[in-house]
Amino acid sequence: MSEKIGVYICHCGLNIAKTVDCKALAEYASHLPNVAVARDYQFMCSNPGQEIIQNDIREMGLTRVVVASCSPLMHEPTFRRAVASAGLNPYLFQMANIREQCSWITQNRVLATERAKDIVRAAVMRVNFNEPLEVQKIPVNSNVLIVGGGITGIEAALQIADSGKKVYLVEKEPTIGGYMARFDKTFPTLDCAACILTPKMVSVEQHDNIELLTYSDVTDFSGYVGKFTAKIRKRPRYVDEDKCTGCGQCEEKCPLSVPSEFDCKLGKRKAIYRPFPQAVPNVPVIDREHCLYFTKGVCRVCEKFCAHHAIDFEQKEKYIEVPVGSAILATGFDLFDASRIREYGYGRLPNVITSIEFERLTHASGPTAGKIQLKNGKPPESVAIVHCVGSRDQNYNEHCSRVCCMYSLKSAHLVREKTDAKVYEFYIDMRAFGKGYEEFYKRVLHEDVTFIRGRVAEITNVARDPSEKGKLIVVAEDTLLGIVRRVPVDMVVLSVGLEPRKDAAQLARIFGISRSKDGFFLERHPKLAPVSTAAQGIYVAGSCQSPKDIPDCVAQGAAAAANVLSFADKGEIELEPTTAMINDEACSGCKICVGLCPYLAISFDESNNRAAITSVLCKGCGVCVAACPSGAIEQQNFTNKQLVTEIEAICSQDYGV
Amino acid sequence: MNKAYDKSTQVVCKALDIDLAELNDWNCCGASAYLSIHEMKAHLLSARNLVLAEKEKKDLVVVCPACLTTLTKTNHYLAEETRFKRTIDTALKAANLQYRGSVTVRHLLEVIVNEVGEQEVKARIKRKLSGLKVAPYYGCQLTRPFGEIDDKEFPVILDRLLTWIGVEPVDFPLKTKCCGGLLMMTNEDVALGLNRNLLDCAKQNGAECIVTICPLCHMNIETYQGDVNKMFGTDFKVPTLYFTQLMGLAFGFSRKELGIDEEMISSRPLLEKHFEVVG
């Protein structure tokens, strides 16, 4: 039976038409075997473009369709939907990429047009052998796993829980709240971080649909979209969460004080502690490393004073398994370790501090009750704020951390507000891109802050003259004046950048997702699928994907929630049928494919000595197909017949015309 | 003065059972002014030395950080830059030479610390140097640009070695700052200012002498103190010793064997103050 093929050449505005002669290409295609019609149009992906194809299918009875346009990544689903709605099986459609693989890589119109002809010819010849395939539908568990209880995870959890779906929110710290809980004010509005965050934290705890698992982490994640199983490790708090009322007696009576991590070790906490008074859940945790009972076998004072018998020294690590249909990773970021830049003196010069330490200093409930002070307790007379510490620096991180310019401005404002100190901001470029940000920058400019454009070369305590004695001297090239400046100050705040979490690689492995070059989790598309990943059903949101400020984190948390709900609500999900199939007759039982499958989709059936593919797990990567020495595996829509025809056609110009 | 570096290096290596063999037919590494006038030719000079070392199947150990940097740079570029390698290869071929890239270039300080180690160094100590406070001066080229030996800005490798032999390295924040190098010839005022900073910082932090690992740093710091004093109205008289000289003293060698007393600012009063030095 001879096929009736429709070929459609897209101009993609000028993206293709500028280098490829689309008219000539359509004319060429119309003479290829079995081609019933060949047209060109400015934007095939637009509605009118799709209608042209649909009309031809209906009116001319096309049995195959080829669109020559962009890479299939973006618009293959678009055209498949278009042909399907005109009654043609979507897999009888073939896409030819004449943009990324042709028009964008040359300026030469003649050669580009010739190459486009080759590409279109290959697609036309191949599409003859395309077979109709049916999309598989599988049921979806509506439970959602969210990893990370910072502002992003909180937002996503509340959105999903409010829609009636069950959420498991896993947080590795004893409390949710993340970095935001440690901030005093937020830019550019200067509203108090706690005032906008803590109500949300409480809502999470009280929500019937959210199961909060703090002091826990995900150790394994298996299954496939719609039917995952998450294995979660609950570390022992040594405090019974059900019995504890959060009265705080234990903390008060605990005799041992140690530096508080939450306060960047600027303040103290007890060995039994809540990181901060508004912690959620409001249940303390015993720090096993310091607790006198665990280290020396004495004390147990907390146990004596707990009226509710909530202290349980026998608590053990617990593993639980929960079934979920999808997962959102919102694991956030790590701050750059400023001591790595030795010439900035962090860790060596006492009054060189990082921005997060500054946040704690200036926080109303921080170690100094909000007083900005030097290590000797005196207020600073001058403060330098150094931008881009560990960011935009090929020695450390190439990326811009995006939030530092704005939080540095906020720091400058707070110093001006709370002290009489002179403030110097050393910046490379001022990046005030968000809503109200530029206005905030203007405001700080008028608050008598000195802005010096220049990357800081070093911070030293070696004085050159008496005016520098006892000061920290910030050395930088002022690129506006073209001179080297030495500015003596009392305190230096290093605006440290944002980095991927130290355990990002491990987490990526557990969830089977990728990371970009900078180490952050990789999204499926930077613009059009920013919270999806290549793994279906697994989403990323917030600063684990790239550095982000609070508004962007909240937006991504909500976006990931919407993505999850779009299929959790439907109750089923469609799977691509382009999976690999094993021909039992030909399988020799060599097991080569079993070890190669990156998705663990191939098992081995010992009873009949054959490999078997679980099609819901198969992502259609084709590794097993290529590796099988018996040629027993074939991938749907990528059969040998289809691929060989395509290759033969691209190599030979003896078709039609 | 540089003879003292040579002498002390020889005796210390011998004591540490490091078998130093002078590279047969070696030439200048290409540092000094050559590098800024014709960079490729300078690298070619280095490349020839690398070839000679490869022929003898040996690694190159140098005591001068400028040699270290130039030779290491050449080695890096040859491994990483295809066009660079092609040019050098062609030039070497004219002399019937070929470099396969097997040589590692090392500074003696790093060899002693990483290969010989604390235990072996301490086992050879015959004389206590305790009480002597020194400013460990690395100069600009030991760790830069590659930072392979230690942190680029704040190395501690020399500090560590000095504590092994019992002297006390003081906090010396300018340890990798420039001594002026060849600027002493072309822009003396700037170079003298840089030296003033170094001397001032060493004194401020309680150092009684400066320990160097580089002959050029050593010369600038020691011989120009009079000029620094004249220009800035200071009265520096800080003795300067090579790290190998201090090691030699600790190992019990005589002043003469180590070239001590050849310096322009005598270290004799200082050494006598802290410990008896025979010979």
Q: Is there a contact between A134 and A102 (Cβ–Cβ < 8 Å)? A: no
Q: Does B146 contact A at CB distance below 8 Å?
A: no
B207: DSSP letter: -
Contacts of B217 (CB under 8 A, 6+ apart): B137, B139, B179
Instruction: Enumerate helices (H) and strands (E) in chain B, giving the number of each.
Output: 15, 6
Here the CATH number for the domain that contains residue A591 is: 3.30.70.20
Pick from A341, A461, A464: which is nearest to B173 by CB?
A461
Q: Are residues A16 and A44 in the same domain?
A: yes
Distance from CA of B194 to the nearest CA of A (A): 11
Residue A615 vs residue A382, higher pLDDT: A382
Contacts of B16 (CB under 8 A, 6+ apart): B112, B116, B120, B121, B124
Q: What is the ipTM of this complex?
A: 0.81
Indicate whether A218 pLDDT > 50. yes
Q: Nearest chain B Cα to A349, which residue?
A: B173
Do the domain assignments include residue B95? yes
Task: Please say whether the dihedral angle defined by the alpha carbons of residues B181, B183, B189 and B193, taken in this order, is positive or negative.
Answer: negative
Closest CA to A151 of A356, A354, A330, A383: A330
Do the domain assignments include residue B12? no
Do the domain assignments include residue B8? no
Show the 3-state SS of A325-337: CEEEECCCEEECC
Average pLDDT value for residue range A503-521: 95
pLDDT band at A563 (very low <50, low <70, confident <90, very high): very high
Number of domains in chain A: 5
Q: Does B115 contact A at CB distance below 8 Å?
A: no
Q: Nearest chain A Cα to B152, which residue?
A: A342
Q: Are residues A226 and A253 in the same domain?
A: no
Reading the block at residue A440, the tokens are 């905030």
Q: Nearest chain B Cα to A341, which residue?
A: B153
Q: Hey, which residues does A258 pair with through a beta bridge? A: A269
Q: Are residues A457 and A438 in the same domain?
A: yes
pLDDT at B1: 64
Pick from B154, B173, B197: which is nearest to A464 by CB?
B197
CA-CA distance, B172 to B199, in Å (whole number)?
Answer: 10
Closest CA to A89 of A117, A129, A130: A130
Task: Please say whether the dihedral angle defined by the alpha carbons of residues A341, A347, A351 and A354, taken in this order, is positive or negative.
Answer: positive
Average pLDDT value for residue range A436-462: 96
Contact (CB<8Å) A462/B151:
no
pLDDT at A655: 64
Q: Are residues B233 and B128 in the same domain?
A: yes
Q: Are residues B83 and B139 in the same domain?
A: no
CA-CA distance, A146 to A221, in Å (whole number)?
Answer: 12
Least confident of A145-159, A444-458, A566-580, A622-636: A566-580
pLDDT tens-digit series, residues A456-493: 999 999 998 899 999 999 999 999 999 999 999 999 99
Residue with tokens 């990002």: A504
Q: Are residues B253 and B134 in the same domain?
A: yes
pLDDT tens-digit series, residues A332-368: 999 999 999 999 999 999 999 999 999 999 999 999 9
Closest CA to A478 of A532, A426, A541: A426
Do the domain assignments include residue A325? yes
pLDDT band at A657 (very low <50, low <70, confident <90, very high): very low
Question: Can you tell me whether residue A230 is helix, strand or coil?
Answer: strand
Reading the block at residue A196, the tokens are 């906008």
Which of the listed residues A100, A134, A168 is the one where a domain comes to its end? A134
Distance from CA of A486 to the nearest CA of B (A): 14
Q: Are residues B76 and B135 in the same domain?
A: no
Domain ranges, residue A458: 335-499
Q: Are residues A495 and A346 in the same domain?
A: yes
Q: What is each CA distance from B264 to A601, B219, B229, in whole angstroms?
A: 78, 10, 15
Q: Are residues B171 and B263 in the same domain?
A: yes
Contacts of A147 (CB under 8 A, 6+ apart): A153, A170, A218, A327, A328, A329, A330, A331, A507
pLDDT tens-digit series, residues A103-160: 999 999 999 999 999 999 999 999 999 999 998 888 999 999 999 999 999 999 999 9
Do the domain assignments include residue B111? no
pLDDT band at A302 (very low <50, low <70, confident <90, very high): very high
Residues on chain B touching A343 (C-beta within 8 angstroms): 153-154
Q: Are residues B242 and B166 in the same domain?
A: yes
Q: Does B197 contact A at CB distance below 8 Å?
A: yes
Residue type present at position A95:
M
Average pLDDT, chain A: 95
Number of domains in chain B: 2
pLDDT tens-digit series, residues A271-280: 999 999 999 9
Q: Is there a contact between B127 and B255 (Cβ–Cβ < 8 Å)? A: no
Q: Are residues A229 and A365 in the same domain?
A: no
Q: Are residues A206 and A254 in the same domain?
A: no
Residue B99 vs residue A223, higher pLDDT: B99
Phi, psi of B196 (to 5 degrees): -55, -45
Residue with tokens 């199939």: A581
Pick from B151, B174, B201: which is nearest to A342 by CB?
B151
pLDDT tens-digit series, residues B80-136: 999 999 999 999 999 999 999 999 999 999 999 999 999 999 999 998 888 899 999
Q: Are residues A344 and A454 in the same domain?
A: yes
Q: Are residues B129 and B239 in the same domain?
A: yes
Share of chain A above pLDDT 70, in %: 99
Distance from CA of A136 to the nearest CA of B (A): 51
Do the domain assignments include residue B117? no
| Regions of chain B short of the pLDDT cut 70 | 1, 276-279
CA-CA distance, B195 to B193, in Å (whole number)?
Answer: 5
Do the domain assignments include residue A643? no
Distance from CA of B151 to the nearest CA of A (A): 8
Do the domain assignments include residue A272? yes
Contact (CB<8Å) A458/B153:
yes
Domain ranges, residue B153: 124-274
Contact (CB<8Å) B173/A464:
no
Here the CATH number for the domain that contains residue B163 is: 3.40.50.11810
Do the domain assignments include residue A240? no
Number of other CB atoms surrounding residue A347 within 10 Å: 12
Q: Are residues B78 and B143 in the same domain?
A: no
Do the domain assignments include residue A654? no
Closest CA to A116 of A33, A50, A18, A46: A18
Q: What is the DSSP string of A526-553?
A: TTTBTTB-SSTTEEE-GGGTS---HHHH
Q: Are residues A102 and A30 in the same domain?
A: yes
Which of the listed residues A134, A155, A170 is the one where a domain comes to its end? A134
What length does chain B have? Answer: 279
pLDDT at A306: 95
Q: Are residues A430 and A362 in the same domain?
A: yes
Q: Does B154 contact A at CB distance below 8 Å?
A: yes
Which of the listed residues B52, B71, B106 is the one where a domain comes to its end? B106
Q: Alpha-carbon Rg of chain A, whole angstroms?
A: 31
Contact (CB<8Å) A462/B174:
yes
Query: Which A residues in the span 495-554 are in contact with B, Cβ-Cβ below 8 Å?
Result: none
Q: Does B2 contact A at CB distance below 8 Å?
A: no
Q: Are residues A380 and A431 in the same domain?
A: yes
Residues on chain A touching B173 (C-beta within 8 angstroms): 460-462
Q: Are residues B162 and B254 in the same domain?
A: yes
Q: Are residues B158 and B267 in the same domain?
A: yes
Indicate whether A173 pLDDT > 50. yes
Contact (CB<8Å) A343/B154:
yes
pLDDT tens-digit series, residues A400-439: 999 999 999 999 999 999 999 999 999 999 999 999 999 9
CA-CA distance, A295 to A278, in Å (whole number)?
Answer: 28
Q: Does A458 contact B at CB distance below 8 Å?
A: yes
Q: Are residues A432 and A442 in the same domain?
A: yes
Which of the listed residues B44, B73, B106 is the one where a domain comes to its end? B106
DSSP E strands in A442-524: the ranges are: 449-453, 456-460, 472-478, 483-489, 491-496, 498-500
Do the domain assignments include residue A311? no
Q: Alpha-carbon Rg of chain B, whole angstroms?
A: 19
Q: Does B190 contact A at CB distance below 8 Å?
A: no
CA-CA distance, A131 to A124, in Å (whole number)?
Answer: 14
How do A272-273 and A268-270 pair as beta strands? Answer: unpaired
Do the domain assignments include residue A653? no
Q: What is each CA distance from A272 to A235, A285, A302, A314, B127, in whole angstroms?
A: 15, 5, 8, 15, 53
Contact (CB<8Å) B154/A342:
yes
Indicate whether A229 pLDDT > 70. yes
Do the domain assignments include residue B118? no
Q: Are residues A448 and A374 in the same domain?
A: yes
pLDDT at A1: 59
Contacts of A593 (CB under 8 A, 6+ apart): A602, A611, A623, A624, A627, A628, A633
CA-CA distance, B23 to B21, in Å (whole number)?
Answer: 6
Which of the listed residues A482, A499, A516 is the one where a domain comes to its end? A499
pLDDT tens-digit series, residues A627-656: 999 999 999 999 999 999 999 999 987 764
Pick from A341, A462, A464: which is nearest to B173 by CB?
A462
Here the CATH number for the domain that contains residue A122 is: 3.40.50
Q: Are residues B89 and B176 in the same domain?
A: no
Average pLDDT value for residue range A389-393: 97
Q: Are residues B56 and B170 in the same domain?
A: no
Reading the block at residue A60, the tokens are 């001319």
Residues on chain B touching A461 (C-beta within 8 angstroms): 173
